[in-house]
Amino acid sequence: MYDKGVDDFDAMHNLPKALRQRLREHTTLGEMCVETEQHSRDGTRKRLWRCADGSLIESVLMPYADKRRTACISSQVGCAMGCTFCATGQMGFKRDLSEAEIFEQAARFSAELKAKDERLSNVVFMGMGEPFRNYDAVIGVTKRLMSELGIGARHITISTVGLAPQVRRFADEGLEVSLAISLHEANDARRSAIMPVNRRYDLEELLDACRYYVRQSGRRISFEWALIAGQNDDAASARELAELLQGLKCHVNLIPLNPTKGFDGRPTSLPDADKFIDVLGRRGIPATVRVRRGIDIDAGCGQLKAKVNKVLGRGGAPV
């Protein structure tokens, strides 16, 4: 599995035939099966997994022209954070994924790539769920990605909506893994309106935890900002964001909003995104627009829900 990318017992010709037969009869490779897979025009693959208990999750594999292969993996079935613009948040929460279920998403992509003489180069915890609500399992998977799949720490990113105590705890882990904070608003009232977590950990507490992370790790922190036309994409919003982040070693990832059925906001145009970047840049805050991938199959940031809801019945039961 790990060295050759083989995921079929019959293809393991260096094992005795009788052993292969016994393995087929009594064991499986992994805990999950692939229910469906969709392919985007840009090469992105979105995979729907069925867990042993019938729960359904999604993960995404994104290819890039520079040979990078990035897996976006899930840490929970659904999400309890309730962010209004996120499809996963709109579907609610069912359960945490086990460490094995999280790791398998990346390991299976890695094996398939290896069989084609390619390699999984990057992993981002930006799929379904809030990684820091399943902290121990996510940290365990992160260490396995490095030790078992050979992915460098700096090629792994964990994204969180901003659970301040866990940000501090992560700062003390000593891992050279990248941290991304889903921010999206620089004002407490507006952020609380779209991200309920802000009512528990407001911007002052969150930014204090971020400063602690930078001091402890020496690493730059990333802030994710979904650009919503007419809501948080104007010059005033950019100035407010720059003031909030002033003096912090950071970078802003701007993501024109990806559409979901449960939120009627529209994505910002690229010219307006460039103006937003210019305002931040004049105030010393570096920012770039993230390339949107897999939008035609609902595989972009915040879109992992639609396929699940088509397969899940009332109350989350498979149909």
The beta strands (E) that lie in 65-184 are given as: 69-72, 76-78, 93-96, 122-125, 156-160, 178-182
Task: Enter the tokens of residue 25.
Answer: 């009869």
Specify whether 58 is catalytic.
yes
Q: Which of 51, 72, 79, 301 is catalytic?
A: 301
Neighbours of 101 (CB within 10 A): 24
Residue 181, helix vs strand vs coil: strand
Distance set, CA 63 to CA 44, 90, 106, 246 (Å): 6, 28, 14, 34
Q: How far apart are CA 217 and CA 243, in angstroms?
A: 23
Q: Which of 265, 270, 231 is nearest to 254 (CA)?
A: 270
Specify whether 301 is catalytic.
yes
Q: Which of 58, 99, 104, 130 is catalytic?
A: 58
Q: How would DSSP label each residue in 229-246?
A: TTTS-SHHHHHHHHHHHT
What is the set of active-site residues?
58, 301
